[in-house]
Structure 1
Amino acid sequence: MDNTEKPGESNRGRKGINPLEQVRSNPLFSSLSQEAWEGLLPHMATLRLSPGQAVFYQGDPFRGFFVLLRGSVKLFRLAVDGQEKVIELIRSGQTFAEAILFSRGALYPVSAEATEESRLLHIAAAPYRKILEDSPELCLNLLSGMSQKLHQLVLEIDRLTLQHARERLLSYLLQEAGSQGLGENIVHLRMTRKILASRLSVQPETLSRLFKMLKQEGLVEESGKTLRIVDMETMRRALE
């Protein structure tokens, strides 16, 4: 990995927040004893990435997992024909690749790439796995996080296999409106239209037409990257 540094080499983030303090409160580290935490520090390194720069590629040997400190990272797979399928968009504070900790000799099953200026923390697999062996609480925290991600993936599979393109978009917008903390009918598009189209398994031009139709029908209003859902009840009924 390029552009790496030890966490202590740059202690403050953009807003003066110590990245280690940010990571320490994450459920994957919060139950660690101070001794275990300090023992893990030498096995961490921060990584600065520019837009389009890879974190790892599908098929690379698994070396560790990551905490995204700032920016955004897309996880994706490439089809045989070269078409990209976005699996997930990782946001600040989220972890990724930790599920592979339990697989010896594993390979990364997806590729990861920064979509904007990003800063990550890499945690080496072997030292963290050793700590897991002595910490039942940490294991439970890890399993809880994996269970939540599995639930989200099941919902994603349902959306892709049981819904048409329009329904996928409506489902996505309703889900985001309830989770961003911007108001129950406000959605900030946190990814580019191209990435969103891949996430919903539609062509970009199809997504553009769908957004245009929703605006023409008076279901949403758009201002830059922010959408206001005008008629949530009609959107919900469309998914019944």
Structure 2
Amino acid sequence: MGLEMLSTDFEAKRRQHEPAPELPQQVVLPGDRALFLSESAEGLDDGAHFLDSLTSDEWAKLRMHGRRLAFATGQAIFTQGDRHGGIFIIESGKVHVFYTAPSGRQITLAYWTAGHFIGGPEMTGGGIHIWSAEALSDCRMLFIPATALKKLVVELPNFALCLLQGLAAKGRCYSAMAQMLGTRSVIERLAQFLMNLGKLHGVRDGRAIVINAKVTHDQIAAMVGSTRQWVTMMMKRFQKEGLVTVTPRHIRIERPHALMEMVSKRAAGEAAFRLPLTEPR
């Protein structure tokens, strides 16, 4: 038996005699920050501050041209294929943005929180929405119609610069997702996403990390570009190998370093001989 497995057994015995760590109230994904598939948990929320440099007068003009909207939990904000009419600035609440393939299969593009905007990449109307957005919680938004957006960009140069910064943040988001989907195996994406959740919502318990967030296998599958059945199978395999422990309330990363090694080229090559790299059909 390897030293790492012995260490894991020791940790399990230790937990039998020590009280479990006190956990704060469980977070509902994504928490209070944006979340998307990325090779790091750093910088996920950069776009939330794209309007921070606006003056109070500029904000007043923005609100004068905008329209306040409210969306209930589960309500569609816009749907893939709808005609584009403007952008939505999230004032409060959480939004799930996703793409639906012709087969009906969905992939999560991002979870956006307060301060971010949705409705791109079109900005000034004339096209269609190429993905959908749904309220994960009750949301309040400032909707800027395309016609008003054109006018504001001309009249408020500072707002135009802010908008460019917001678009740059969105570009980094979707570039990170494309890089992960195009260059990492599905196992690596799963391991990386679990590690990111551990950094964002983890609570230390000895060497282990308890992910203190409510996340389903469906959500994980849509994020890493897989299926719920495959995620369930892999989580069972990870649990059998002592990498994680899955309970009805939490995912506990027992061996963070081993999971992190799985995203390295060397570990990925070794894993190919032990773990299925493709999804079940």
Deviations 1:182-213 (A, max 9, x none): 56944344553213212212110111111222
**Structure number, greater radius of gyration:** 2
User: Matches of 1:91 and 1:191 in 2, distance apart?
Assistant: 17
Alignment TM-score, normalising by the size of structure 1: 0.74
Structure having greater relative contact order (Cα 8 Å, sep ≥ 6): 2
Deviates more, 1:172-181 or 1:81-90: 172-181
Structure 2: which amino acid aligns with 1:177?
Answer: G
* CA RMSD of superposed structures (Å): 2.7
Residue of structure 2 in register with 1:15 after alignment = none
Residue 56 (str. 1) matches residue 73 (str. 2): no
Q: Distance in 1 between matches of 2:201 and 2:161?
A: 26
Instruction: Give the deviation of 1:97 after TM superposition.
Output: 1.9
| Distance change >3 Å, CA 80–CA 99, structure 1 → 2 | closer
1:119 is matched with 139
Aligned equivalents of 1:190, 1:130: Cα separation in 2: 42
Partner of 1:10: none
Aligned length: 212
2:184 alignment partner in structure 1: 163
Residue 225 of structure 1 deviates from its aligned partner by 4.6
Q: 1:83 to 1:208 in 2, by over 3 A?
A: same
- Distance, in Å, in 2 between the alignment partners of 1:212 and 1:95 is 37
Partner residue in 1 for 2:111: 89
Matching of residues 175-190 of structure 1 within 5 Å: 175-180=196-201, 185-189=209-213
Offset, 1:110: 0.7
Is contact 1:219–1:229 with CA below 8 Å preserved after alignment? yes
Note the 1:71-150 alignment, pairs <5 A. Answer: 71-101=93-123, 103-115=124-136, 117-125=137-145, 126-150=147-171
1:135-157 deviations in Å (ceiling 9; x for gaps) = 44433333233323322322222
TM-score (normalizing by structure 2): 0.65
Match of 1:228 in 2: 252
How far apart in 1 are the matches of 2:159 and 2:100?
33
For the Cα contact (< 8 Å) 2:89–2:116, is it kept in 1? Answer: yes
Q: Percent identity?
A: 21
Match of 1:100, SS state, is coil
